[in-house]
A and B are shown apart, each in its own frame.
Chain A
Amino acid sequence: MDTALIPKGVKRCPLPQFLAGLGAAHVVLLWGVFAMLLCWLKGLNQTNMNNAYGFAMWIWADRAVIALGGGAFFTGFLRYIVGKDKLKYIINYAVLIGFICYSSALLILAIDIGQPLRGWFIFWHANVHSMLTEVAFCLTAYFFVLCVEYLPLVLENRQIDKVPFFHNLTHNMHEIMAVFAATGAFLSFFHQGSLGGVAGVLFGRPFGFREHILIWPFTFFLFTWSAAACGPCFTILITKITEAIARKKLVKDDVIELLAKISGWMMLTYIIAKTIDTIYWAVVTAPSKGLALSHFYTNNALYGYWILILEVVICGWVPALILITDKGRKNQFTLWLAVILAVIGVSLNRWVMVLQVLAVPVMPFIKWVLYFPSWQEVATTILPVAYGVILIMISYRYLPIFPQEAELNPLEPPALPEDEPEAGEEAAQEAEVQEDQKTGEGDLQPAEA
Chain B
Amino acid sequence: MKHEKAKKFGMVIDLDKCTGCGSCMVACMAENNVPFREDETDKLLSVAWMRVYKLTNGKPFPDADICYLPRPCQHCEGHHGHSPCVSVCPATATDYDTRTGIVSQIYARCFGCRYCMAACPYHVRLFNWYDPVWPDGMEQSLNPDVSVRMRGVVEKCSFCIQRYQMAKDRAYMEGREDIEEEDYQTACTQACPADAITFGDLNNPHHKVHQLARPDHRNGGKPRAKNLFRLLERLGTNPKVYYKSSREWVRNLGDNHDAIQEKA
Which residues of chain A have a CB within 8 Å of any CB of chain B? 43-45, 49-52, 54-55, 112-116, 118-119, 121-122, 124-127, 129-133, 136, 198, 201-206, 286-292, 294-295, 357-358, 362-366, 369
Contact = CB atoms under 8 A, between A and B. Distances in A.
A362 B55 CA distance: 15
B118 A130 contact: no
Given A125-B109, A204-B121, A295-B258, A51 B45 contact: yes
Which of the four size classes fits the interface of chain B?
35 or more
Contacts of B129: 43-45, 49-50
A122 B110 CA distance: 9
Contacts of A203: 78, 84, 235-237
Given A201-B87, A364-B252, 8 more contacts: A43-B130, A54-B114, A54-B115, A55-B114, A115-B150, A121-B111, A136-B90, A364-B255
B120 interface: yes
A43 B237 contact: no
A52 B123 contact: yes
- Counting from the closest, the 5 A-B pairs by CB-CB distance are A114-B112, A114-B152, A54-B114, A54-B117, A290-B256
B123 A130 contact: no
Given A114-B111, A119-B111, A358-B118, A43 B151 contact: yes
11 contacts: A50-B42, A51-B117, A115-B150, A127-B91, A130-B88, A132-B90, A290-B256, A290-B259, A363-B121, A364-B253, A365-B253
A362 B88 contact: no
B44 A369 contact: yes
B241 interface: no
B234 A289 contact: yes
Interface string B252-264: 1111111110110
Contacts of B127: 44, 49, 51, 54, 114
B111 A51 contact: no
Interface in B42-88: 42, 44-46, 53, 55, 69, 78, 82, 84, 87-88
A61 to B, nearest CB: 15
B259 A130 contact: no
Contacts of A136: 90
A362 B253 CA distance: 11
A50 B125 CA distance: 11
Contact of B259 (A119, A127, A198, A286): A286
A79 B255 CA distance: 52
B231 interface: yes
A203 B91 CA distance: 20
Interface of B: 42, 44-46, 53, 55, 69, 78, 82, 84, 87-93, 109-115, 117-123, 125-131, 150-154, 231-232, 234-237, 252-260, 262-263
Contacts of A363: 121-123, 231-232
Contact of B151 (A114, A122, A204): A114
A52 B44 contact: yes
Contacts of B234: 288-290
A40 B180 CA distance: 47
Contacts of B130: 43, 45
Contact of A289 (B45, B82, B125, B235): B235
B262 to A, nearest CB: 5
Contacts of A357: 118
Nearest to A209: B235
Give the one of A286, A291, A295 with max B CB within 10 A: A291
Give the one of A54, A127, A366 with max B CB within 10 A: A54
B87 A129 contact: yes
Contacts of A113: 111-113, 152
A292 B111 contact: no
A121 B260 contact: no
Nearest to A283: B259
A114 B114 contact: yes
A131 B44 contact: no
A448 B22 CA distance: 67
B75 to A, nearest CB: 14
Nearest to B85: A204
Given A50-B42, A121-B111, A291 B258 contact: yes
B128 to A, nearest CB: 7
Nearest to A197: B88
Given A290-B259, A292-B262, A365-B53, A115 B112 contact: yes
A288 B125 CA distance: 25
A400 B82 CA distance: 52
A201 B82 CA distance: 11
A54 B58 CA distance: 30
Contacts of A358: 118
A204 B119 contact: yes
A289 B90 contact: no
Contacts of A125: 91-93, 109
A291 B232 CA distance: 11
Contacts of A44: 112, 127, 129, 152
Nearest to A52: B44
B118 A55 contact: yes
Give the one of A114, A364, A366 with max B CB within 10 A: A114
A122 B118 contact: no
Contacts of B122: 204, 363
B118 A54 contact: yes
B259 A292 contact: yes
Given A119-B111, A121-B109, A290-B255, A133 B90 contact: yes
Contacts of A126: 90-92
B120 to A, nearest CB: 6
B92 A291 contact: no
A115 B131 CA distance: 12
A198 B88 CA distance: 8
Given A43-B130, A121-B91, A205 B112 contact: no
B260 A290 contact: yes
B263 A287 contact: yes
A358 B115 CA distance: 11
B6 to A, nearest CB: 21
Contacts of B114: 54-55, 114
Contacts of A202: 84, 88, 118-119
Contacts of B263: 287
Contacts of A365: 53, 55, 69, 253
Contacts of B258: 290-292, 294-295
B260 A287 contact: yes
